[in-house]
Structure 1
């Protein structure tokens, strides 16, 4: 098998596209000592395999000895303590979680595809996978050294993954033939300008922008040569990436060592106290999910618990953005805001930015909630299509 992969390892979620198939999973894992023994119909097991990933990984990129892990959604279900990205360090290129979760998901996906093709799987069946992958590092740490180090973590090692299901397993051998590491924000640019089908983007991404700035016929071509300051607000960091055209200017890009994560951690205590009424244990990822989903029955409670801490985050972000634009001597055209945390910050921060920058003819493109978390990974997918399509 050959996979063309776009892979965005966020502090909260991993967003991954494999040959155009797009998935999200909580970016967590736990070391696990149990493997499935109950035998269920193979068809139903395979249908739900990507939500029940249990693997044993043999890779020096992860550990000196093989270890068994439970990944993503399943990890949140079976363990009260999970391992996730360190929101304080922001050194993704040195963490093992992007490697563990990427290998695990690719191996489970390969197993599922093998079953769909053959309608059966032998015990210990070997599946060989060659991977071409585009992934990203925060602009604040992206340089020649870190991107090479991160790419080599995948390309320089032998990776063998046992995918456990029922009372059997497959063995997936994963070889990364090419890994391209870009700065976060650059892939989003592809997703702003293009629609992935060879045309300029022209959809609801720009609805609010068109109305605010009276640009009724605007499409993605408007941003093709603009100087953009990307503000990607995540859980652990906020990236301020400067692009013009399709070029990233590292000297004009930076990062902030804070995001929604600290506010989530502080709000988790009162939220957990309330959730104990329902005999529920929650984690940071759960609270983040409730905040972003207005349809959740726990959304209002989550907002109440985090409100005070959000006010401080809004103040910090507003100051940081204004400081950065001053350092750039106002030599930019549009501030583009996205990332999972932008969804719950818009009500407080958007109007402040518009009112501050509109008098000096600087514009704010606030990416709508339905697109905010997907900007980087879908941009990588467009980049892959342009680069690797036959």
Structure 2
């Protein structure tokens, strides 16, 4: 599997072939509980099929800190519980390779996927499952070095991870053994995902242009990747498919920072009576048109996004000048944040690109969010786990 451990959402791509895969997604939040939530009285088939909505697990893992073994509600289920107790990744501190949350998210989602796939195939629930997994994932360029990557690789490889999944009144034990693991920089896998897409994704970009851009052209261009995430932005200069490693960098920018600023502004509007809500809960309000705070949330978020967009533009201009000497054929913009910031960033970025005789390719919304996870999936089958060992026991 390939896993994009986002600060907002964890995305896992599972598949035996490059063009045959499924994607599992969960908000990157967990909550530790002292007792099991009340179970519903639904059929086993319905509970298993909707397992991602009420994922409750007991974790025993050598990869997490001592004393952290225990019962957790994961992702969507954690969002429906006491928000004061919900844990998400601190986007200001970084150090994703040291967090327990990514480990807990990944092994819980693997267990969920294994149970659902097995049940779909056989129509029955086993008491135990034993899995061997090849895993690729990534950490931000702002914290990446090979030593930190190895720390995270070794955490996954450190023995057996046991996830007991609670399904109604049943307990299912899933033992996960990671046999090979690869950790790389966020942003770098995206180009490999683009190379297996269809040419139609460039139709909007090519509209009205004298010269048509083809996906195959990307292999021969001087590129500057702008991967806009939740907690970090990755800035990756590359010659075609080859990143210039010494020039890669990242900054603590993105949707999460805009969201936190918007939460503070909304709280001020309500004279401090907003309550303790996290980034994910704010986005629920923002997306829920029926919520009584929806319009206030939209206004606060717009102001915050404009501020972040200005900072991102400054980042791009500074880094292209210092890291690439303004010698860039194409600025490639993607990531979940590229959707949120497009309205406030695209025109100014295109004006800058024109100044340095470059162009901007804004990756279409329908593929921008999953580009890193899909790129890792492509690399799993073409590089990482193809007839050779990466990091193994």
TM-score when scaled to structure 1?
Answer: 0.88
Counterpart of 1:103 (choices 94, 101, 107) is: 107
Structure 1 residue ranges without an equivalent (≥5):
196-200
Q: 1:129 to 1:18 in 2, by over 3 A?
A: same
Matches of 1:275 and 1:46, distance apart in 2? 41
Unaligned 5+ runs, structure 2: 16-20, 388-393
Q: Give the structure 1 partner of residue 3 of structure 2.
A: 7
Match of 1:386 among 382, 386, 391: 382
Distance 1:350 1:212, change over 3 A: farther
Give a deviation string over 1:288-330, Cα, whole Å, max 9, x none: 4666x6x955675433112222222122111111111110211
Corresponding residue of 1:198: none
* 1:213 Cα offset (Å): 4.0
Matched-pair contact (CA < 8 Å) for 2:326–2:356: no
Contact 1:271 1:301 in 2 (8 A): yes
Shift of 1:27: 0.7
- 1:1-390 to 2 correspondences below 5 Å: 5-19=1-15, 20-35=21-36, 36-65=38-67, 66-81=69-84, 82-122=86-126, 125-195=127-197, 201-204=198-201, 206-211=202-207, 213-216=209-212, 218-271=213-266, 283-288=278-283, 301-327=296-322, 328-387=324-383, 388=385
Contact 1:238 1:257 in 2 (8 A): yes
Q: Distance in 1 between matches of 2:275 and 2:117?
A: 35
- Conserved 8 A contact 1:99-1:154: yes
For 1:221 and 1:114, the matched residues in 2 are separated by 39
* CA–CA distance in structure 1, aligned partners of residues 270 and 50 of structure 2: 28
Deviation at 1:257, TM superposition (A): 2.1
CA RMSD, aligned part only? 2.5
**Would the aligned equivalents of 1:272 and 1:282 in 2 still touch at CA under 8 Å?**
no
Shift of 1:250: 1.6
TM-score (normalised: structure 2): 0.88
CA-to-aligned-CA distance 1:334-381 (integer Å, 9 cap, x gap): 111112222121112111111122143211111122222111011112
Q: Is the contact made by 1:11 and 1:235 (CA closer than 8 Å) also made in structure 2? A: yes
Give the whole-Å Cα distance in 2 for the aligned partners of 1:290 and 1:350.
26
Q: Which residue of 1 aligns with 2:18?
A: none
Alpha-carbon offset, residue 275 of structure 1: 10
2 CA distance for matches of 1:26 and 1:338?
Answer: 20
CA contact (8 A) 2:223 2:330 kept: yes
SS at match of 2:46: helix
The 3-state SS of whatever aligns with 1:215 is: coil
Instruction: Tell me the matched-pair count.
Output: 373
- Greater shift, 353-362 or 151-160, is seen at 353-362
Stretches (4+) displaced over 6 A: 272-276
CA distance in 2, matches of 1:375, 1:289: 23
Contact 1:38 / 1:167 at 8 angstroms: preserved in 2? no
Does the 8 A contact of 1:264 with 1:284 survive in 2? yes
Paired residues of 1:154 and 1:176 also in contact (CA < 8 A): yes
- Name the SS for the 1:330 alignment partner: coil
CA contact (8 A) 2:61 2:161 kept: yes
Distance 2:330 2:231 in 1: 24
Give the distance between the partners of 1:340 and 1:297, measured in 2 at CA. Answer: 24
Whether the aligned pair in 2 keeps the contact of 1:230 and 1:336 (CA below 8 Å) is yes
Structure 2: how far apart are the matches of 1:290 and 1:227?
41
Q: Deviations 1:33-89 (Å, cap 9, x if unpaired)? A: 232544431111111012211000111212434311000011101222311111001
Q: Do the aligned partners of residues 343 and 149 (structure 1) sit closer, same or farther apart at CA in structure 2, a change above 3 Å counting?
A: same
Query: CA 1:150 to 1:105, structure 2 compared with 1: closer, same or farther past 3 Å?
Result: same
